[in-house]
Amino acid sequence: MTKLSGAEIVIACLKEQGVDTVFGYPGGAILNIYDALYKHRDEIHHVLTSHEQGAAHAADGYARASGKVGVCLATSGPGATNLVTGIASAYMDSSPIVAITCNVANPILGKDSFQEIDITGISMPITKYNFIVKDVRELAGVLRRAFRIARSDRPGPVLVDITKDVTAAVTDYEAVLSAAEALRPLPAEEKIEEALALLKAAKKPCIMAGGGVILSNAAEALTAFAHRLDAPVCCTLMGQGAFNQNDPLYTGMVGMHGTKTSNYTVSDCDLLVVVGARFSDRVAGSPKQFAAKAKILQIDIDEAEVNKNIHVAASLVGDATALLTCLTEKLPAQRHADWVTEIQARKERFPLQVGEGLTGPRVIRELDRLTPDDAIIVTEVGQHQMWAAQHYAYHSPRTYLTSGGLGTMGFGLGAAIGAQTAKPDSVVVNVAGDGCFRMNMNELATVAREELPLIELIVDNHALGMVRQWQTLFYEQRYSSTVLRDRVDYCKIAEAMGIKAYRVTTVEELRTALREAVESRKAAVLDVLIDSDEKVFPMCPPGADLKEVFDESDL
């Protein structure tokens, strides 16, 4: 047992948990921790972001790309509140991060002191758990609990706020090895048998895979189960990469911007097996009409999700890998040849349209063609996000990172920094719209400082494209505050920060720029100009039956 200060205990606990990278921004209240971090800079790499929001998104991207807990640091007051959007993004998408903030000292806590804020009160609704540490003797135990909570069961963000005097105080410290988490036991045998009965009785089964498949590392188990059941597979936005999209059973994304094949299949199936998905309104559309012909079997780690948005016939609560493996072992091989043939015919009848010239879908198709299969595609939020989900073929999990639940514009560049830091040898591309890029483009300075080889691809339509699309379709073309016809030169911004930039106006220029950017292994910004009136199709009206999905041909 040794004597350590609170700040030194923070560093020791990070090392206990296997943390080798943290993202953050220093300030007065957290200076003791940064001083301790300086002494251990050879063991824990600190990435100084341009803004605390960027640090939270970077920790999130690190977690999503690596499967480990991401860590971010911020000081009191505005430093802590600047983390809030990033923490909320992680919460909505069940991403495991630990945010460590510091507050004013105990004697002046609660007295409206300089840069004091009740960050635990603010973050309570958007964290899986949060703590305020006012006694140095409790600090190590709290930090260990924070990491355990962040990564166990359904993952999520945890915040630990530490008063400044605790970081200076000294106490006894004893290292503790991090123990492996025990898997939740399988459900009762009668629940398994109930699920197997549904699977055996189905004539037109369909599987819908969500982000939980990726979080539980269940992609291989899902593939084996899908082929044993002989059922088509669709993925939610968060489930992209959960199932190899070159597999003949894959039908595409499901939901508001899902393929016609996926939406019709969910509507026509007689059994829908939903794995690790929460029936978001952007997926389910009209709850009363969703999968109306089907019995639904829901598999999820979180019992609170069962019957929350959609009533289901049966459910299995537990780890997706364990449950899918159990069902695959117990289920005799099923054959649904006519159903699978019908789905294949739909795929041929309803292909996704790319359009002529330099369109949004064409940009993503070229990106797919010119990047390796294990490239990590990160996105901001909007039309480009949907095109990246629709038109890029993902072969494995943790290769499509996006803000699905909160829909955070500005998420992508920070998350890409985290992903590139976690996977330094991977090609990492952040696909952004020009509206999103403006949110956090200051993080290009972080990219340059860290010498990260990530590619920032701006799908530039001089508009807030998705909002403009809704204004076109539902608001009689009243383009209120969605036109970005200004004089901002994104290439000059990139070059001012020391990053090579390309302005792209043709498909051939896109191919040349992408090849150079990928091969150079240096940071690059591509400003790709497309038409302002491009739309994301297919589309299902909000709150509508999935069978109401339409595309250009229907208009």
- Kindly tell me if the per-residue pLDDT of 182 is higher than 80: no
Residue 109 banded pLDDT, cuts 50, 70, 90: very high
Residue 436 banded pLDDT, cuts 50, 70, 90: very high
- The average pLDDT across 211-240 equals 98
What are the CA-CA distances from residue 519 to residues 250, 378, 527 (Å)?
Answer: 31, 19, 18
Task: Provide, rounded to the nearest whole percent, the portion of the chain with pLDDT above 90.
Answer: 97
CA 245 to chain centre: 18
- What's the confidence (pLDDT) of residue 1? 81
Q: Which fold has domain 360-529?
A: Rossmann fold (3.40.50)
- The average pLDDT across 217-239 equals 98
Beta bridge partners of 103: 163
Which range has the worst mean pLDDT, 177-191, 304-318, 347-361?
Answer: 177-191
- What's the confidence (pLDDT) of residue 181? 73
Residue 11 banded pLDDT, cuts 50, 70, 90: very high
Task: Say how far apart CA 434 and CA 415 lie, in whole Å.
Answer: 17
pTM given for the model = 0.97
- The average pLDDT across 220-248 equals 98
- The average pLDDT across 348-375 equals 97
Backbone phi and psi for residue 25, each to the nearest 5 degrees, phi listed first: -150, 125
- What's the confidence (pLDDT) of residue 281? 96
- The average pLDDT across 335-359 equals 97
Q: Which H, E and C letters describe 357-420, residue by residue?
A: CCCHHHHHHHHHHHCCCCCEEEECCCHHHHHHHHHCCCCCCCCEECCCCCCCCCHHHHHHHHHH
- Kindly tell me if the per-residue pLDDT of 183 is higher than 80: no
- Listed residue (260, 261, 124) closest to 539, CA to CA: 260
Task: Provide, rounded to the nearest whole percent, the portion of the chain with pLDDT above 70.
Answer: 100
Report whether 55 contacts 25 (CB < 8 A).
yes
Report whether 385 contacts 11 (CB < 8 A).
no
Q: Just give the CATH number of 189-349.
A: 3.40.50.1220
CA torsion sign, 290 to 291 to 297 to 298? negative
- What's the confidence (pLDDT) of residue 184? 82
- Mark 424-460 as b/e (b = at least 16 C-beta within 10 Å): eebbbbbbbbbbbbbbbbbbbbbbbebebbbbbbbbb
Q: Look at residue 243 and give its three-state secondary structure.
A: coil
- What's the confidence (pLDDT) of residue 179? 72
- Kindly tell me if the per-residue pLDDT of 180 is higher than 80: no
Q: Just give the CATH number of 2-173.
A: 3.40.50.970
pLDDT tens digit string along 122-152?
Answer: 999 999 999 999 999 999 999 999 999 999 9
- Kindly tell me if the per-residue pLDDT of 429 is higher than 80: yes
pLDDT tens digit string along 32-83?
Answer: 999 999 999 999 999 999 999 999 999 999 999 999 999 999 999 999 999 9
What's the whole-number average pLDDT of the chain? Answer: 97
- What's the confidence (pLDDT) of residue 86? 98
Q: What residues act catalytically?
A: 52, 114-115, 164, 466
Q: Taking the domains of the chain in order of start, what are their residue ranges?
A: 2-173, 189-349, 360-529
